[in-house]
Amino acid sequence: MIKKQMVILILTMFISGQMIIGNSMAENTNEIVIESDITWTEDQEIDGTVRIVDGGKLTIINSEITFSTESKLIIDEGGFVVLESSTFTSDSIPTDLVGYGYCDDFNRSTITIDISTYDNDFEIIIDSASGTNFNGATAYIGEEIFMMNNSQFSYSSQSNDDDEILIGICGYGSTPVGISSITVIHNGFSNHYLASELQYRNMMISGLREYSLEIFGNFSLHNSSIVAAEISSTGKINAFSSIFSRSGPILLNDNDASISLNEGTTFDGSLDDHDIRAMPESNIHWSNDTVGSGDLTDKWERRIKGQYIQFDAVWVEYQIKGLYGVPTYTNFSGNDGISYIDGGRERIIEIGWSDDNIWAMEDTWKEEAVINVIKYRTAWNPENSVIGNYGASGIKLTNDKITIIDQNTPDIKWLSLKSEGDGNEAKGSVVMIGEVVNEGTAAAHFAISCYLNSTGESAETNNYPDALVEAGEIGEIVFDWRNSKSGAEELKCVILTPMQIVDEYAFGGGNITSETVNWQINEEAGGLSYIMPIIIVIIIGIIGIGYILVNRANLDHEIMVED
Contact 381, 313 (CB under 8 A): no
Q: Do residues 389 and 428 share a domain?
A: no
Query: Residue 555: is its pLDDT beyond 90?
Result: no
Mean pLDDT, rounded, for 202-211? 96
pLDDT band at 523 (very low <50, low <70, confident <90, very high): low
Contact 279, 255 (CB under 8 A): yes
CB burial of 65-75 (b: ≥16 within 10 Å; e: otherwise) equals bbbeeebbbbb
The percentage of the chain sitting over the pLDDT mark of 90, rounded to a whole number, equals: 75
Q: Do residues 422 and 436 share a domain?
A: yes
Contact 467, 446 (CB under 8 A): yes
CB burial of 151-182 (b: ≥16 within 10 Å; e: otherwise) equals bebebebeebeeeebebbbbbeeeebbbbbbb
Q: Do residues 150 and 82 share a domain?
A: no
Q: How many domains does the chain have?
A: 5
- Residue-level pLDDT at 64: 98
C-alpha to C-alpha distance for 467 and 446, rounded to whole angstroms: 6
Is residue 355 included in any domain, yes or no? no
Q: The sheet that has 326-332: what strands, in order across it?
A: 326-332, 317-323, 370-375, 395-396
C-alpha to C-alpha distance for 117 and 357, rounded to whole angstroms: 34
Q: Do residues 320 and 395 share a domain?
A: yes
- Residue-level pLDDT at 424: 76
Give the number of other CB atoms < 10 A from CB of residue 217. Answer: 22
Q: Do residues 101 and 31 share a domain?
A: no
Q: Lowest mean pLDDT of 285-299, 306-320, 412-426, name the range.
A: 412-426
C-alpha to C-alpha distance for 171 and 139, rounded to whole angstroms: 9
Is residue 166 included in any domain, yes or no? yes
At residue 341, the 3 state secondary structure works out as: helix
At residue 20, the 3 state secondary structure works out as: helix
Is residue 224 included in any domain, yes or no? yes
- For residue range 137-172, what is the model confidence (pLDDT) as tens digits? 999 998 899 999 999 999 998 666 778 899 999 999
Whole-number Cα distances in Å, 250 to 237, 270, 449? 10, 9, 62
Contact 134, 109 (CB under 8 A): no
C-alpha to C-alpha distance for 48 and 271, rounded to whole angstroms: 24
Is residue 6 included in any domain, yes or no? no
Is residue 1 included in any domain, yes or no? no
Give the number of other CB atoms < 10 A from CB of residue 415. Answer: 12
Q: Do residues 219 and 285 share a domain?
A: yes
Contact 216, 232 (CB under 8 A): no
Which helix (DSSP H) or strand (DSSP E) does residue 189 occupy?
A: strand 189-194
Specify the CATH number for the domain of residue 190. Answer: 2.60.120
Q: Do residues 399 and 321 share a domain?
A: yes
Q: The sheet that has 491-496: what strands, in order across it?
A: 466-469, 444-452, 491-496, 511-513
Which helix (DSSP H) or strand (DSSP E) does residue 200 occupy?
A: strand 199-201
- Name 516's bridge partners: none
C-alpha to C-alpha distance for 286 and 264, rounded to whole angstroms: 10
For the chain, the helix, strand and coil percentages under 3-state DSSP, each to the nearest 5: 15, 45, 40
How open is the CA angle 62-65-68, to the nearest 5 degrees?
A: 170
Contact 430, 480 (CB under 8 A): yes
String of DSSP letters for 498-546: -TTBSSTTTTB--EEEPPPEEE---HHHHHHHHHHHHHHHHHHHHHHHH
Q: Do residues 383 and 461 share a domain?
A: no
Q: Do residues 131 and 148 share a domain?
A: yes
C-alpha to C-alpha distance for 541 and 485, rounded to whole angstroms: 32
C-alpha to C-alpha distance for 105 and 143, rounded to whole angstroms: 12
Which helix (DSSP H) or strand (DSSP E) does residue 466 occupy?
A: strand 466-469
Is residue 486 included in any domain, yes or no? yes
- For residue range 348-392, what is the model confidence (pLDDT) as tens digits? 999 999 998 877 788 999 999 999 999 999 999 999 899 999 999
Give the phi and the psi of residue 414 in degrees, each rounded to 5: -70, 145
Q: Do residues 416 and 515 share a domain?
A: yes
- For residue range 188-205, what is the model confidence (pLDDT) as tens digits? 899 999 999 999 999 999
At residue 284, the 3 state secondary structure works out as: strand
Can you give the residue range of the structural domain that contains 80?
A: 22-91+210-304
Q: Do residues 87 and 234 share a domain?
A: yes
C-alpha to C-alpha distance for 354 and 99, rounded to whole angstroms: 16
At residue 381, the 3 state secondary structure works out as: coil
C-alpha to C-alpha distance for 477 and 496, rounded to whole angstroms: 13
* 499 compared with 187, residue with greater pLDDT: 499
Is residue 390 included in any domain, yes or no? yes
Question: What's the Rg (C-alpha) of the chain?
Answer: 43
C-alpha to C-alpha distance for 447 and 464, rounded to whole angstroms: 6
Q: Is the peptide bond before 533 cis (omega within 30 degrees of 0)?
A: no
Contact 378, 313 (CB under 8 A): yes
- Residue-level pLDDT at 537: 42
- For residue range 87-121, what is the model confidence (pLDDT) as tens digits? 999 989 999 999 999 998 889 999 999 888 887 78
- For residue range 423-443, what is the model confidence (pLDDT) as tens digits? 677 888 899 999 999 999 999
Q: How far apart are the first and last CA of the chain?
A: 173
Q: Do residues 138 and 220 share a domain?
A: no
- Residue-level pLDDT at 91: 87
Is residue 439 included in any domain, yes or no? yes
- Residue-level pLDDT at 117: 83
Nearest Cα to 184, choosing from 156, 161, 158, 149?
156
Whole-number Cα distances in Å, 480 to 417, 429, 490? 12, 6, 14
End residue of a domain, out of 155, 178, 206: 206
End residue of a domain, out of 404, 429, 449: 404
Nearest Cα to 232, choosing from 219, 216, 251, 249?
251
- Residue-level pLDDT at 221: 98
pLDDT band at 29 (very low <50, low <70, confident <90, very high): low
